[in-house]
Amino acid sequence: MSLFDQFKKIPGKSQEPQKPEQPVAPVAVPEPLALEPLVAETPVQEAPQMAAEGPETAVETVAEPAAVTETEAASDTAPAVTEAVSDTAPAPAAAPTPSTEDSPGQRFTVGIDLGTTHCVLSYSKTGDEDEEFVQQVMAVPQLTSPGMVEDSYQLPSFLYQAHESELAQGSTSLPWTAKPDYLVGEIARNLGSKTPIRLVSSAKSWLCHAGVDCKAAILPADAPDEVTRVSPFQASVAYLQHLRDAWEYQHPHAPLSEQDVVITVPASFDPAARELTVEAARSVGLGQAILLEEPQAAVYSWIEKSHGDWRKQVNCGDIILIVDIGGGTTDLSLIAVTQQNGNLELTRVAVGDHILLGGDNMDLALAYTVKAKLEKDGGQRLQPWQIQALTHSCRDAKEKLFTDYSLDTIPLVIANRSSSLIGGSLRTELTRDEVNRVLVEGFLPKVAITDRPVSRTRSGLRTAGLPYAQDAGITRHLAAFLAKQQDATNDLADINLPAHATFLHPSAVLFNGGVLKAGALAERLMQVLNSWLIAEQAPEARLLAGADLDLAVARGAAYYGFVRKGRGVRIKGGTAASYYVGVESSMPAVPGLPPELEALCIAPFGMEEGTQEELPDDEFGLVIGEPVRFRFFASNSRRDDRVGTRLDFWNDDELSELAEIEITLSDAGRRPGEVIPVHLCAAVTEVGTLELHAVSQKDDSRWKIEFDVRAGEN
C-alpha cells in the first residue's frame, strides 16, 4: 500500500469516497448582499449520541448570507460571499444537553488544543489507578449561522466583529447565554468568508510576534475604523471562554476550574508567548492549567491509541521526527528512543524554529494561481476584497479535492460588480493538477539536504502583518533543521550517528496537522526525506501508523494529564532552548564604538520543570525605582552551555534575539536611587513557563523579571 492509499483510510475520517451522482456545485463568491438583518432560525434542541473516538464523518455546512453595511458595500474591501454547496445537505447535528452522569466532585483530565485554525477539547474521567484510560472528544455547541446552534468536535479559531445591524436580535443565542461577548467558531468563519475585513484569524500566531503589542486592539489588521478591533490576547481568551462555557454547560457538576487541564502550545513558542497563553487561561478561571508542546502531545496521542503496541513500532536507537503542519505554522521536533533498565524511554532532543508556514499560505497560493489564470485567459483583474474571498473558496475547494479522489475539478464563481458581465460574476475552476502543482511542487519541492531556505532582504516600508516565512519550501526548512541538529543525540549512548553523516538521520516519522491528510503532500514529504537518507547510505524512515491528524493534540494533552499521575510513559524534555541575557563586556571604552555584547546563559537546554538555577557569581547593580532592560536570546542548538557560560562570539544561526526582559525594583522600604547588587535566578515552573528573578546579594529580597509581552517596535 502506498502512502497515498494509506492516507485515504485515516482512522476517524471518511473512507473511500463514492462517485457523486450529480455534478459538483461550484464554490461561489457572489456579490455583496442587500442591507437586511438576518432572521433568526429556530435552534436545534435534541442532543445526539456522542462517540468516544471522535467524529466518523466530517459535516459540511452551508452558511446563510450576511448583511452588508452601506460603507462596506461602497468600498473596495466590500464583503463577498463564499459558499461551498454539497450535493446532498446533511442533517444538522444537535447541541448536546447537559450531562446527568457526572456526580458532584467528579474529576477529569482535560486536554485543550488551542490551535491556529481550530480548537479541540478532549477529556477523561479520573478513576482508580487500575482503571483503563478512556477519553472522548467534546462536541462543542456553536453557532453555525444566525439562530442555528450545532455541535462539532472542532471550534474554528475565528472571531467575527458583526455590524450592529447585521444580525437579528436573538440570533446569536447560545445554550448558556442569550448574548455572547463575541461570535467565535463556525459562524465567525462563515460570516468572515463573506466579509473578511470583520474577521479575526491566526490570533495564536500573533502571540509570538515580537513586533507588536499582543494586548493592543490590532485585529482585524486591515479593518476600517468602523470595525471594533480586539487584541490577539483577547481573541485567545474568547476561544478559551467558549470552550469553558461549553464544558460547564455539559458538565454542570464538574467546573473546568477544578479539573486537571493541559493546554498545548507550539514547541517553538518563546517564553513570552507561553506566558501569554497561561495568562489567557488564568483570565477565564483556569489558573491551574499547565502547558505541553504540541508535537509531544501528538506523540502521547499515538502512544495512547496504540494501547501499548507502540513499543512494537519503535526500537531502542530510533529517532522520531515529528512533522506538524497546521493551518498557520510548521512545527518540527525530534524524539530519541533509548533504553533504561530494559524499558524504552522517550526524550525530546530538538525543537525547530517558529515557522509561520502552513495551510493558510497554501490557500493564498491557490487564490493567486486562480487570479493569474483569470488575468491571462480573460484579462480580468481581481480587487483585494475578491482575492480575500477567493482564498476562502480555494480552501474549500482544496479540501474537497484532497478528500474526494473521484473529483478532478471544482468550479469557482467569483462576484464582480461590473454590469457588463453576464450574471455579474466570473467563472473558472480549480483542478487537481493545479492543486498538486502549486502545493506539492511549491511547498514540498524535491531539494537536496544541502539546500537552505531562501532569505530576502525585507523592504524598509511594509504593511503591518505576521512575519510569514519568506521561503514556502517546507522541505528546505526541514533540511536546515536536520542539519542544524546533527549533534542533538551526542550525549545519548543508544544513538549512534555514522561518522560521515551530514545531518541527523530520523528512522521514524509521525505526522500531525490537517494539511498532511492530503496523501500527495504526505507522500512527497516522505519521498524527499528518504532521498536524503539513501544518499548517505542510511535506512529509509518509516511512517508510524495510527496518527490522528485532526484531534491528536487535544487527545495527547488529556493523556498527558493521566501520565503526570505516574500511569504511563513520560517524554523527557525540559526547556526547548537555552536562554541568555545580553551583558556588556568589561573591555576598555573605544571612541565611536558601543561596548561588545556577551551572552550569559541563565537557563540551559533541557532544564526540567520544577527546577531552578542561580548565578551568584554574576553580579548586576540595579537602581531602585528605575526600569532596567536586558536583551534576551535563545538557542535551540547549543546544548553544551551551562548556567553561567559566557559567549563572546556566536554565529547568526546559533542565537536568536527575543523580546527584551525588564525589571523595576520597588522603592518600598528603600531609598530612591539606591543601587542594589543582585544576581539572576531562572526557574522552570510546574506549569511549563520560564521565570526569571533578580535576587539581592545582601538579603533574601527577590524581584520577578517580566517578559516584554510585545511592546511593539519603535
Give pLDDT, residue 328.
Answer: 87
Beta bridge partners of 152: 140
pLDDT band for position 641 (50/70/90)?
Answer: very high
For residue 603, the surrounding DSSP H or E stretch is: strand 597-603
Q: Which amino acid is at 643?
A: V
Residue spans of alpha helices (H) in 229-379: 232-250, 271-283, 294-306, 310-313, 359-378
Q: Is the per-residue pLDDT at 7 higher than 80? A: no
Superfamily of domain 359-443, CATH level 4: ATPase, substrate binding domain, subdomain 4 (3.90.640.10)
Residue with cell 543508544: 494
pLDDT band for position 222 (50/70/90)?
Answer: confident
Give pLDDT, residue 77.
Answer: 38
pLDDT band for position 341 (50/70/90)?
Answer: confident
Residue with the bigger pLDDT between 177 and 389: it is: 177
Residues 47 and 355 sit within 8 Å (Cβ to Cβ): no
Give pLDDT, residue 53.
Answer: 40
Sequence-separated (6 or more) residues with CB below 8 Å from residue 284: 237, 240, 241, 244
Beta bridge partners of 582: 599
What radius of gyration, in Å, describes the C-alpha atoms of the chain? 26
Distance between CA atoms of residues 180 and 173, nearest Å: 7
Distance between CA atoms of residues 505 and 478, nearest Å: 12
Among 214, 152, 206, 156, CA closest to 182: 156
Q: Is the per-residue pLDDT at 122 higher than 70? A: yes
Average pLDDT, the chain: 83
Specify the 3-state DSSP secondary structure of 521.
helix
Average pLDDT value for residue range 526-541: 98
Give pLDDT, residue 704.
Answer: 87
Give pLDDT, residue 14.
Answer: 36
645-654, 676-685, 693-702: range with lowest mean pLDDT: 693-702
pLDDT tens for 353-373 read 989 999 999 999 999 999 999
Q: Is the per-residue pLDDT at 461 higher than 50? A: no
For residue 560, the surrounding DSSP H or E stretch is: helix 552-563
- Other CB atoms within 10 Å distance of the CB of residue 143: 26
pLDDT tens for 41-73 read 434 433 333 333 443 333 333 333 333 443 443
Q: Looking at the chain, which residues constitute the CATH 3.90.640.10 domain(s)?
A: 359-443
Residue with the bigger pLDDT between 233 and 196: it is: 233
31-35, 163-167, 218-222: range with lowest mean pLDDT: 31-35
Distance of CA 33 to the CA centre of its chain: 33
pLDDT band for position 706 (50/70/90)?
Answer: confident
Cell, residue 688: 511549563
Sign, Cα dihedral of 45, 48, 53, 59: negative
Average pLDDT value for residue range 236-249: 98
Distance between CA atoms of residues 570 and 551, nearest Å: 20
Q: Looking at the chain, which residues constitute the CATH 3.30.420.40 domain(s)?
A: 292-355+465-572
Beta strands in 326-460 (DSSP E): 330-340, 343-351, 409-415, 425-431
255-259, 297-301, 312-316, 462-466: range with lowest mean pLDDT: 462-466
pLDDT tens for 568-627 read 889 998 898 999 999 877 666 677 777 789 999 999 999 998 899 998 888 888 888 888
pLDDT tens for 289-310 read 999 999 999 999 999 999 889 9
Residues 357 and 477 sit within 8 Å (Cβ to Cβ): yes
Q: Which of 23-27, 430-434, 448-452, 690-694 has the highest mean pLDDT?
A: 448-452
Residue with the bigger pLDDT between 101 and 399: it is: 399
Residue 535: burial class (beta carbons within 10 Å; 0-12, 13-18, 19+) = exposed
Q: Is the per-residue pLDDT at 5 higher than 60? A: no
pLDDT tens for 671-691 read 878 888 989 999 998 888 899
Average pLDDT value for residue range 629-652: 91
Give pLDDT, residue 464.
Answer: 58
Give pLDDT, residue 102.
Answer: 67
pTM for the model stands at 0.82
145-154, 241-250, 646-655: range with lowest mean pLDDT: 646-655
Distance between CA atoms of residues 477 and 485, nearest Å: 12
Average pLDDT value for residue range 220-234: 92
**Half-sphere exposure in the Cβ direction for 693 (13 Å, CA):** 16
- Where does 292-355+465-572 sit in CATH, by number? 3.30.420.40
